């Protein structure tokens, strides 16, 4: 009996070994789970680069024959099996004893991990992509943790294809969690959708489409999901072939049956494209297309700049296509000019082909997530992450050049260009007033007002300086009921300021003249400004029913001031 049990156990062990050894990992079975790209200055871990990979399945997975690629270099992984749900720590062989509590997988030939920007890909023995991560410095999401000593950690391994928004700098005191649960781990899922972000035309018969998140490659490769139209004509272009580009699967190359015509603008329609998480885009499914031409002199213009962003957001520079045809941004560059007249190396506006159509603008920054966390990014397609040129709080000079080294525009910005009554311009962008006047004229720039969020990256705001109609109250709520489930719950007041700039204060008073609450104090205003009041005082306590007064006061550097007192009736529900 004992011999039978032993034989049975040996057969089971042999079967499991053969079964495990024959398994080939497929897409997302394994995930790159933690990246220590810049281990120094150390916080508590050894000064060693490492990569953590995670077995996301409920069965053992062999790494034998799998290939790790870091940027352009590759290495074959050893014959090691990862347990179900278990991590494996890839590290240099010389550092194998540095991580005693981790399931280390030392590599005789280590592939150096780039500090700031890199592409890491894991392939199975059949050269199919298992997982890929294209990271950059902005992924750390914390300015104090991107200079070294902290790893990048995946937040939720249930959505390994989510990209940047699913990664954070480790919050562990030691700077990382090699072989352990990620400190940044959380039950996170933003329901990201495969929005079509931008396009390019490398030639007349091919369109490259870039999406916000990796796609389901089967649906994305179906030519029936793409179509070109022109004004008044449907179905003028059909794909001949569609290729979803590995390893990230967030790019699609469409080969059209017929070449696109120069000077003709098309509209690209996509449908039934789903993300790697199974969601379909609901809004950004169409996009204009046109064959690009070389930029005419002065066709590309600076339109907005945030050179003194403070600590909460990065700087940005915005460019608009003020011409009549599409331009490919790949060969265009920014160049910072130093105070002594010397020029820094140029910074490309795009590392790959990207179209900028007539009338479109694009804001360039080092960290789109941080920028849009502070300022209103109304157009997600209007933000591009790049290696930014230097900008200076005290002022500086930027050049914009096209592919043939022709200077498209020059901007000599200064903090003195801000609205005179501002205490300082920190966190406030300068927006261009006219594209017909040179960028070097200080009067052609204006501080972005508070009612437009102090900056408008990726979309053109109205002119914010110059003459215009006299300010006036355009709408005022006569009454409101804060606790109502059907009626108006807040009082709203809208002031039209035209294209002049003013400093303004808005406060609420009761009928006896007692101050109740200040909504804004000495804020820069222009255009159309709207304020709402919920019926509460400064301590968020709901006030009794009655008549209250909106007191609105504005003034400008010319000594002009205006004052409005607008009554509103607040009702309360009867219980």
Given a contact cutoff of 8 angstroms between Cβ atoms, the answer to whether 380 and 457 are in contact is: no
DSSP string spanning 326-371? -EEGGG-EEEEE-TTS-BPPPEES-SS--EE-TT-EEEEES-HHHH
The gap between the terminal CA atoms of the chain, to the nearest Å, is 82
pTM of the model: 0.85
Please indicate, yes or no, whether residues 212 and 158 belong to a single structural domain of this protein: no
Could you give the CA distance from residue 207 to residue 255 in angstroms, rounded to a whole number? 7
Rg (CA), the chain: 29
Reported confidence tier of residue 15, pLDDT bands at 50, 70, 90: very low
- pLDDT of 453 above 70: yes
In a domain, 234, yes or no: yes
In a domain, 190, yes or no: no
Give percent above pLDDT 70 in the chain. Answer: 94
- Work out the average pLDDT over 87-104: 91
- Work out the average pLDDT over 445-457: 94
- Work out the average pLDDT over 103-130: 95
Please indicate, yes or no, whether residues 434 and 550 belong to a single structural domain of this protein: no
Please indicate, yes or no, whether residues 409 and 485 belong to a single structural domain of this protein: no
Please indicate, yes or no, whether residues 269 and 383 belong to a single structural domain of this protein: no
Q: Between these two residues, 4 and 68, which has the higher pLDDT value?
A: 68
Reported confidence tier of residue 54, pLDDT bands at 50, 70, 90: very high
In a domain, 188, yes or no: no
Instruction: Supply the pLDDT for residue 8.
Output: 38
In a domain, 239, yes or no: yes
Instruction: Supply the pLDDT for residue 308.
Output: 95
* CATH number for the domain harbouring residue 364: 2.60.40.1260
- pLDDT of 314 above 80: yes
Give per-residue pLDDT as tens, 466-502: 445 789 999 999 999 998 877 899 999 999 998 889 9
Instruction: Supply the pLDDT for residue 21.
Output: 60
Q: How many domains does the chain have?
A: 4
DSSP string spanning 237-289? E-EEEEEEETTT--EEEEEESSPPPTT--EEEEE-S-BBTTS-B-SS--EEEE
Please indicate, yes or no, whether residues 38 and 154 belong to a single structural domain of this protein: yes
Give per-residue pLDDT as tens, 326-379: 999 998 999 999 988 899 999 999 989 999 999 999 999 999 989 999 999 988
In a domain, 294, yes or no: no
Please indicate, yes or no, whether residues 53 and 141 belong to a single structural domain of this protein: yes
- pLDDT of 62 above 50: yes
Please indicate, yes or no, whether residues 529 and 417 belong to a single structural domain of this protein: no
Reported confidence tier of residue 2, pLDDT bands at 50, 70, 90: very low
Last residue of a domain, one of 289, 312, 327: 289
- Work out the average pLDDT over 550-555: 96
359-371 burial by CB neighbour count: b if 16+ within 10 A, else e?
Answer: ebbbbbbbbbbbb
In a domain, 210, yes or no: yes
What domain range includes position 41? 21-169
Instruction: Supply the pLDDT for residue 18.
Output: 43
Give per-residue pLDDT as tens, 492-533: 999 999 888 999 999 999 999 999 999 999 999 999 999 999
- Work out the average pLDDT over 424-434: 94
- pLDDT of 295 above 80: yes
Going by C-beta distance under 8 Å and a sequence separation of 6 or more, which residues neighbour residue 466?
Answer: 433, 499, 500
The SS3 call for residue 152 is strand
Last residue of a domain, one of 452, 487, 518: 452
- Work out the average pLDDT over 45-50: 96
- Work out the average pLDDT over 228-237: 79
Reported confidence tier of residue 12, pLDDT bands at 50, 70, 90: very low
Instruction: Supply the pLDDT for residue 238.
Output: 92
Please indicate, yes or no, whether residues 313 and 437 belong to a single structural domain of this protein: yes
* CATH number for the domain harbouring residue 498: 2.60.40.4070
Q: Give the chain's mean pLDDT.
A: 90
Q: What is the CB neighbour count within 10 angstroms for residue 451?
A: 19
Last residue of a domain, one of 452, 485, 520: 452
Find the range with the poorest average confidence among 77-91, 138-152, 201-215.
138-152
Please indicate, yes or no, whether residues 264 and 358 belong to a single structural domain of this protein: no
Please indicate, yes or no, whether residues 378 and 495 belong to a single structural domain of this protein: no
């Amino acid at each position: 009996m004992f011999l039978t049990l032993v034989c049975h156990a040996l057969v089971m062990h042999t079967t499991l070994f053969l079964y495990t050894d024959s398994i080939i990992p497929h897409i997302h079975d394994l995930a790159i789970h933690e990246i220590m790209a810049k281990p120094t200055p150390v916080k508590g871990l050894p000064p060693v680069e490492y990569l953590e990979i995670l077995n996301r399945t409920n069965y053992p997975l062999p790494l034998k024959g799998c290939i790790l690629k870091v940027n352009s270099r590759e290495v074959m992984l050893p014959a090691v099996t990862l347990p179900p749900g278990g991590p494996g720590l890839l590290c240099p062989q010389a550092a194998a004893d540095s991580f005693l509590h981790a399931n280390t997988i030392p590599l005789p030939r280590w592939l150096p991990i780039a500090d700031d920007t890199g592409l890491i890909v894991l392939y199975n023995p059949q050269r199919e992509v298992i997982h890929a991560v294209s990271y950059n410095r902005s992924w750390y999401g914390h300015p104090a943790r991107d200079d070294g000593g902290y790893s990048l950690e995946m937040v939720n391994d249930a959505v390994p294809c989510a990209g940047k928004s699913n990664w954070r700098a480790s919050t562990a005191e030691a700077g990382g969690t090699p072989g352990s649960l990620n400190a940044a781990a959380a039950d996170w899922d933003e329901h990201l959708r495969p929005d079509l972000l931008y396009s390019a035309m490398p030639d007349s018969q091919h369109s490259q489409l870039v999406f916000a998140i990796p796609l389901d490659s089967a649906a994305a490769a179906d030519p029936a999901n793409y179509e070109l139209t022109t004004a008044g004509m449907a179905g003028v272009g059909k794909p001949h072939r569609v290729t979803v580009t590995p390893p990230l699967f967030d790019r699609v190359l469409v080969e059209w049956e017929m070449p696109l015509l120069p000077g003709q603008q098309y509209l690209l329609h996509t449908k039934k494209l789903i993300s790697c998480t199974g969601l379909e885009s609901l809004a950004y499914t169409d996009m204009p297309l046109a064959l690009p031409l070389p930029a005419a002199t002065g066709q590309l213009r600076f339109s907005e700049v945030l050179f003194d962003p403070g600590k909460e957001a990065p700087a940005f520079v915005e460019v608009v296509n003020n011409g009549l045809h599409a331009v490919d941004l790949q060969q265009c560059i920014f160049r910072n000019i130093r105070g002594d007249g010397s020029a820094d190396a140029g910074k490309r506006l795009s590392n790959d082909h990207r179209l900028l159509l007539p009338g479109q603008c694009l804001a360039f920054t080092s960290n789109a997530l941080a920028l849009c966390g502070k300022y209103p990014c109304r157009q997600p397609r209007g933000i591009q992450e790049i290696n930014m040129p230097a900008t200076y709080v005290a002022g500086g000079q930027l050049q914009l050049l096209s592919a043939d080294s022709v200077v498209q525009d020059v901007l000599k910005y200064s903090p003195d260009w801000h609205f005179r009554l501002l205490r300082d311009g920190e966190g406030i962008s300068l927006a261009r007033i006219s594209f017909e006047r040179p960028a070097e004229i200080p009067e052609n720039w204006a501080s972005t007002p508070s009612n437009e969020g102090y900056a408008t990256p990726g979309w053109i705001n109205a002119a914010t300086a110059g003459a215009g109609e006299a300010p006036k109250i355009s709408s005022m709520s006569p009454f409101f009921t804060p606790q109502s489930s059907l009626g108006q719950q807040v009082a709203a007041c809208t002031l039209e300021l035209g294209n002049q700039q003013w400093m303004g204060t808005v406060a609420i008073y009761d009928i006896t003249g007692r101050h109740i609450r200040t909504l804004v104090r000495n804020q820069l205003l222009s255009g159309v400004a709207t304020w709402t009041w919920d019926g509460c005082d400064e301590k968020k306590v709901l006030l009794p029913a009655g008549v209250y007064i909106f007191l609105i006061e504005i003034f400008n550097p010319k000594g002009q001031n205006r004052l409005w007192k607008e009554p509103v009736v607040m009702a309360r529900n009867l219980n």
